[in-house]
Amino acid sequence: MRVLAALAALSLGALTACGQSGGGTSAAGPLRIMAPAAPGGGWDQTSRTAEQAFKAADPKRKVEVFNVPGAGGTIGLAQLAGEKGNGNLLMTMGLVMVGAIEQNKSKVTLAETTPIAKLTEEYELVVVPAQSPYKSLADLVAAWKADPAKVSISGGSAGGTDHIVAGLMAKAAGVDPKRVNYIAHSGGGEALNELLGNKVSVGISGVAEFAEHVKSGKLRALGVTSAERVPGLDAPTLKEGGLDVELANWRGFVAPAGLSEADKKALTDAVTKMHDSQPWKDAVTKNGWIDSFQTGQQFADFLGAEQTRVKGIIAEMGLVS
């Protein structure tokens, strides 16, 4: 019996070894999702929402989210570049990273990744603490014109979506974008704490990050960057408030460069299955996200166009030298 047991264990070990062959990076293995920012922000929220949807779509597969904060995601991007050929790794990214690459003069760019899927779009919300003297966008603009330095604006990384919105708002209001007193953070949690602590004048972030605090009365919404009002959110558009600014943030997944065609297809199929799951659909609705799913060459083309567009915007805003 001992001999049989030993043979069975040996056979099991051989089967396990076979399952791990082929470089150990097959997309059938445990999946890791990098959120290249501190906990509490949009990338972290998207990553953890996707984690639950992946698990619902494929209960047998292990999925783990981990954070690599700093420099608008470019620290995480550099780490991803070191994982060439790893078919078990995704990184959540988006418009913020496109701007941060330019702002931080990152040596690693999105050319060193494999585009997998665009997931969502989301409008930006401009808020102030409940105790703020700014009751409307007009109040904010008046104070901004009087002394730009006294209006501190808290948001995500330098050169990211929040910073771009601040620059576009300043330009529309007749304030020099270079004089914007912008305080950058590596995660939405830090920016939110400053707002709730009444330590900054204004906050800019995605609708989902501020919406519940607006509903609870802790924050006051002055404007949203959509063309029309967002259902369920008590906030006028920036255009209604007199600032001709409209912008949608977007988020998606990229993987390391050097993937085999099989691993690229397996990752794309897994993300598509996640996107089609009910938990993901429910989260998109709950968070006020816009489903803008793209994969393959369509997403790769979009990514290329965004890099050109964003580089032009932040140069015009004086956010890069």
pLDDT digits 0-9 by tens, 130-150: 999 999 999 999 999 999 999
What ranges in 197-242 are assigned the alpha helix state H? 207-215
Same domain, 204 and 140: yes
Mean pLDDT of 154-163: 87
Mean pLDDT of 196-212: 93
Taking the C-alpha atoms of residue 66 and residue 190, their distance in angstroms, rounded to an integer, is 18
In this structure, is residue 90 part of a structural domain?
yes
Please give the pLDDT value at position 19: 36
pLDDT tops 90 at residue 239:
yes
Same domain, 136 and 223: yes
Same domain, 95 and 162: no
Please give the pLDDT value at position 3: 37
In this structure, is residue 10 part of a structural domain?
no
Taking the C-alpha atoms of residue 153 and residue 141, their distance in angstroms, rounded to an integer, is 13
Taking the C-alpha atoms of residue 77 and residue 108, their distance in angstroms, rounded to an integer, is 7
Closest C-alpha to 40, from 208, 281, 225: 208
* C-alpha distances in Å from residue 229, one per residue of 173, 225, 304: 20, 9, 30
Please give the pLDDT value at position 8: 39
pTM beyond 0.85: the answer is no
Amino acid present at 311:
K
Please give the pLDDT value at position 222: 98
Please give the pLDDT value at position 188: 67
Q: Domain range holding 89?
A: 31-121+250-317
Same domain, 91 and 137: no
CATH at residue 280: 3.40.190.150
Structure-model confidence comparison of residues 21 and 38, the more confident one: 38
Mean pLDDT of 173-190: 87
Please give the pLDDT value at position 321: 59
Mean pLDDT of 258-284: 97
Structure-model confidence comparison of residues 18 and 213, the more confident one: 213
Please give the pLDDT value at position 9: 40
Same domain, 213 and 286: no
Does residue 155 contact residue 184 with C-beta atoms inside 8 Å? Answer: yes
Sequence-separated (6 or more) residues with CB below 8 Å from residue 173: 141, 144, 145, 243
Same domain, 202 and 276: no
Same domain, 105 and 208: no
Please give the pLDDT value at position 13: 38
**b/e code 243-274 from CB counts within 10 Å (16+ = b):** bebbbbbbbbbbbbbbbeeebbebbbebbeeb
pLDDT band at 187 (very low <50, low <70, confident <90, very high): low
Beta strands per DSSP E along the chain: 31-35, 63-67, 89-94, 113-129, 152-155, 181-184, 202-206, 219-224, 248-256, 290-295
Same domain, 69 and 145: no
In this structure, is residue 139 part of a structural domain?
yes
Instruction: Give the lowest-confidence range in 81-85, 157-161, 284-288, 293-297.
Output: 157-161
Average pLDDT, the chain: 89
Domain end position, chosen among 241, 260, 292: 241
Structure-model confidence comparison of residues 3 and 287, the more confident one: 287
Q: How many domains are contained in the chain?
A: 2
pLDDT tops 70 at residue 246:
yes
pLDDT band at 158 (very low <50, low <70, confident <90, very high): confident
Sequence-separated (6 or more) residues with CB below 8 Å from residue 177: 166, 167, 168, 170, 171, 317, 318, 319
List residues bridging with 154 in a β-sheet.
183, 203
> How much of the chain is helix, strand and coil, in % rounded to 5?
45, 20, 30
